[in-house]
Amino acid sequence: MASALFNENFLRRLEHLRFATRRPASGHLRGLHRSRRTGSGMVFSDYRAYTPGDDTRNLDWGIYLRLDRLILRLFEEEADLPVYLFVDASASMAFGEPSKFDFARRVAAALAYLALVDHDRVSVVAWADGIARELPVRRGKAQVWPAFRFLQGLTASGGTSLQGALRGYFGGRRARGLVVLLSDFLDPEGFAPAANFLRQFRHEVFALQLLAPQEARPDLPEEVTLVDAETGASDTVHVTPSLIAAYREAQEAHCRSIESVCRAGGWTYRRAQTDAPFEELMLRSLRDEGVLR
């Protein structure tokens, strides 16, 4: 999958990026992200009085000579970042050409690659009306291929319930990290309940809403029976320009409602159309949004 998704040049350019976190990382393992803990990092953090048992390598000998006091220099310890990639695998994601599901898997693969290269811990969760499949926590560049294979093995089916999936996954203890939501957010329950649930864990959240070009600009015959890909429900409509206009308005309103929920929680939101250049999204748009740096 990797060879099909990414070329060498893209991967090399991807390696120059890393996740940008607004808050210090809370990983337990050493990584490349700033954490709240002080330790053996490279970035000076503070001073404190020496107490027996401290590492004497961090004593500030200049202060000792001037003030005759043992002061210990503190450094920020760099930790790894737990990254939770939530890939929407509901039936609605199979819609479009190129399909939203393929696009979401490519984004997830790229972000997983990025995280694993930076020695972050990566979890991939495929969800529909609950957790469909889960890739347990992986770390290290060697886990790139298992992560790719996992993504390649996913299929899109079933309904959509983000709240159910989040409840299922975060019901256990999970380190605070970056939650990446890759979905079309066509959730009958709406996005707000899931967002409210997720907000309590104080994760950093990046929501990428995917739209197929056929959703953004539907091209339908005059008389058509529309069939819901997830529920099978159908409705016959007479397609008129005014109806199309109303649909686009509703579509825009739906996207804006997702965005407003995200912005209200201080989350990062991005809308992407699946026929847009993928590398442009990864190398520029996500940096502009502050997701990568």
Partner 1 sequence: MRLLAFPPGVTAALLAGVAAAIVGLYLLKPAPRRIVVASMLIWDRVLQRKRRDAERWRWWLSLALALAIGLAIAFALTQPEPAGAGAAWRRIVIVIDNSPTMRTLRGDGRTRFEHALETARGMLAEGGTARRILVTDTGGTLGSRAFEAPRRARAVLDSIEIADDGAPRFPVLDAADRGDEAPEVVFITDGVAPITPPPGTRLLSVFEPAPNVGITAFEVRSPPGDARRFEAFVAVANAAPEKVSVTISIAGAGHDAIVRELDIAARDTARLTIPVAEFGGGTLQATARVAGDSYVGDDAAYAFMPVANRKRVALVSAGNRDLERALRLDPRIALSVLGTRQYAHRAGFDAYVFDRFAPAVAPAAPALLLRPPKVPWLPAPGREREAPTIDAWLEGQPVLDNVSLREVEIAHGAAFSAADASLVLARDTDGGALIIASAAIPRWVATGFSLQDSDFAAQTSFPIFVSNALTWLLDETPAVARPLGMVSVPLERARVLTPEGNALDTRFVPGATLFQADRPGVFVAEGSTGRLRVVINRFDPAVTEVNASRLATLPAAAPAGARAALVWEPWLLLMLGAFALMLLEWWTYHRRLTV
Q: Which residues contact partner 1 by CB under 8 A?
A: 92-93, 95-96, 100, 160, 184, 186, 188, 212, 215, 218, 220-231, 233-238, 240-243, 246-247, 250-251, 254
Q: How far apart are CA 194 and CA 84, in angstroms?
A: 15
Cα atoms found within 13 Å of the Cα of residue 108, Cβ hemisphere only: 35
Residue placing its CB nearer to partner 1 in the complex, 22 or 238: 238
In the bound complex, what is the minimum distance in angstroms from residue 215's beta carbon to partner 1? Answer: 6
Q: How far apart are CA 228 and CA 21, in angstroms?
A: 38
Distances (CA, A) of 262 to 96, 119, 193, 246: 25, 27, 12, 24
Q: How far apart are CA 38 and CA 34, in angstroms?
A: 10
Cβ contact 210:104 at 8 Å: yes
In the bound complex, what is the minimum distance in angstroms from residue 180's beta carbon to partner 1? Answer: 21
Three-class DSSP labels, 117-175: HCCCEEEEEEECCCEEEEEEEEECHHHHHHHHHHHHCCCCCCCCCHHHHHHHHHCCCCC
In the bound complex, what is the minimum distance in angstroms from residue 88's beta carbon to partner 1? Answer: 11
174 by Cβ neighbours in 10 Å (0-12 / 13-18 / 19+) ranks as middle
In the bound complex, what is the minimum distance in angstroms from residue 128's beta carbon to partner 1? Answer: 13
Q: Which residues pair with 209 in a beta bridge?
A: 183, 271
In the bound complex, what is the minimum distance in angstroms from residue 186's beta carbon to partner 1? Answer: 4
Residue placing its CB nearer to partner 1 in the complex, 62 or 232: 232
In the bound complex, what is the minimum distance in angstroms from residue 179's beta carbon to partner 1? Answer: 23
The owner of tokens 């890393």 is: 18
**Other Cβ atoms closer than 10 A to 179:** 24
Residue placing its CB nearer to partner 1 in the complex, 71 or 229: 229
In the bound complex, what is the minimum distance in angstroms from residue 101's beta carbon to partner 1? Answer: 10
Residue placing its CB nearer to partner 1 in the complex, 112 or 195: 195
Q: How far apart are CA 62 and CA 46, in angstroms?
A: 15
**Among residues 199, 178, 212, 170, which one has the least CA distance to residue 262?**
199
Residue placing its CB nearer to partner 1 in the complex, 152 or 240: 240
In the bound complex, what is the minimum distance in angstroms from residue 141's beta carbon to partner 1? Answer: 35
